[in-house]
Amino acid sequence: MGPIKKIQYNCKQATFLIEKKLIDKLTLREKIELHIHLAGCSVCRVFDKQSQLINKMVQQFLKSSNNSDVHLNAGFKQDLQQRIEEELNKK
């Protein structure tokens, strides 16, 4: 695997771990891998901060909402999923 491909893989793995840590605990190995990657990758550090902020804002919205039946409409979710897949498939 060439150096560019390795960096891309590491960033993909790092973004996965960043999102995973928002909903679940990371293993010790995952924590170490993420810490090492974030020490050298400013792009992933920004992504980490943005993910934490978005997660915090969503949690605050859900807590402040008196309506316990908050849902995104199906069309919005489908559009969002398509946009995410398009971004992930860019080369």
pLDDT tens profile 49-66: 999 988 888 887 777 766
Task: Give domain status of residue 89, yes or no.
Answer: no
Structural domain includes residue 83: no
Q: pTM for the whole thing?
A: 0.62
Query: Could you tell me if 26 and 17 are in contact, meaning their C-beta atoms sit under 8 angstroms apart?
Result: yes
Q: Which domain holds residue 40?
A: 3-66
The tally of CA atoms less than 13 A away on the side-chain side of residue 56 is 6
How many structural domains is the chain composed of?
A: 1
- Reported as half-sphere exposure (CB side, CA atoms, 13 A), residue 45 has a value of 8
d(C-alpha 50, C-alpha 44), whole Å: 10
| 80 located within any domain | no
* DSSP letter, residue 24: S
Residues of the chain with pLDDT below 70 are 1-9, 65-72, 87-91
